[in-house]
Amino acid sequence: MNALRQVLYFSRASVALTDSEVRQILWISQRNNRIADITGCLLFSGRHFAQVLEGDSRQLDAALLRIGNDKRHSEIVLAIDHVVSVRRFPQWSMGVLFKADLIDMLETLITSQSVSDDDAFKILGEMNPDSLMGAL
């Protein structure tokens, strides 16, 4: 078995998405991730996505390929890709958070195309597996 891997990426929504469309993304992600034993969290600012995925390296590569081909977002920036010893989101095949207050920060990070570890981990710190997850 491969080591447990965690990735974090940011992207810009290509079109305005309704709450219903974001929920559909969440449901499809939950289904696919359960099958692939991937856990994680999707943060949506209204204009941007930040997503953490955790799992087997091969499964994450396949998920990232699907994500990269998804026309609902663009300008994907991979901010973190490392081996971890434990999952941050062990109970979430995909949780979701809506945080409009991160619009400016995510815009800056996506536009710069270069994300420092400090900035990446700051966004990761905003993604807490708590009782608010799943709420839009």
Cα dist from 101 to 7, 109, 114, whole Å:
22, 14, 21
Residue 55, pLDDT score: 95
CA-to-CA distance for 3 and 39, rounded, in angstroms?
14
Residue 6, pLDDT score: 93
Residue 130, pLDDT score: 55
Say which amino acid occupies 27.
Answer: W
Residue 26, pLDDT score: 82
Residue 1, pLDDT score: 54
Residue 84, pLDDT score: 93
Residue 89, pLDDT score: 84
Q: Under a CB-based contact definition with an 8 Å cutoff, are residues 51 and 99 in contact? A: no
Q: Under a CB-based contact definition with an 8 Å cutoff, are residues 57 and 5 in contact? A: yes
Is 133 part of a structural domain of the chain? no
pLDDT in tens, the chain (136 residues): 578 999 999 888 888 888 788 888 888 888 888 999 999 888 888 888 888 999 999 999 999 999 889 888 888 888 889 999 999 888 877 777 677 777 777 777 777 766 777 777 777 777 765 544 444 3
Residue 136, pLDDT score: 37
CA-to-CA distance for 12 and 72, rounded, in angstroms?
9
What domain range is 37 assigned to?
4-126
The CATH number assigned to the domain holding 58 equals 3.30.70.100
Is 70 part of a structural domain of the chain? yes
Number of structural domains in the chain: 1
Is 101 part of a structural domain of the chain? yes
